[in-house]
Amino acid sequence: MVKPPLRTKSIGFKVSEEEYAQLETAAQADGRTLGEWCREAILRGGSASDAERHDPALAEIIGVRLPLVNVLRPLAAGEKLAPEAFDKMLDQISEVKHELAAKLQQQSEKPQREKPSGGRR
């Protein structure tokens, strides 16, 4: 196991009660201590929830995948999709694709926990 570098320097800053609660919630949601989360967010150049800082290519891939999933399955089941419904779906995807990409990227950055074997081999 590789040891992290020895951290000997400290950085401090003041936040309001509300800001502290927001930071604490974000750290807990990411499964990290507040200090670890803040260090990583600062070194990354932004907050973990800042979707614009995440890979835009991933957001576009999600923007293509979502219509495929949401349109092809109903079509395969013999259902029809009205043009207005399709346009509304595209608008919704445009609004959420960056947020979804950020969540996927955060999940892929979390350390993988070992899963119990469950008896299968």
pLDDT, tens only, 28-57: 888 889 998 888 888 877 544 444 456 778
pLDDT at residue 115 is higher than 60: no
Would you state the pLDDT for residue 48? Answer: 47
Q: Span 13-23, mean pLDDT?
A: 89
Would you state the pLDDT for residue 54? Answer: 61
pLDDT at residue 17 is higher than 50: yes
pLDDT at residue 113 is higher than 70: no
CA trace torsion 7, 12, 16, 19 (10° rounding):
-30
If one compares 18 and 98, the residue with the highest pLDDT of the two is 18
Residue 107: CA atoms inside 13 Å, Cβ hemisphere, count? 6
Spatial distance between the Cα atoms of 25 and 33, rounded to a whole number of angstroms: 10
Give pTM, 2 decimals.
0.42
Spatial distance between the Cα atoms of 113 and 84, rounded to a whole number of angstroms: 44
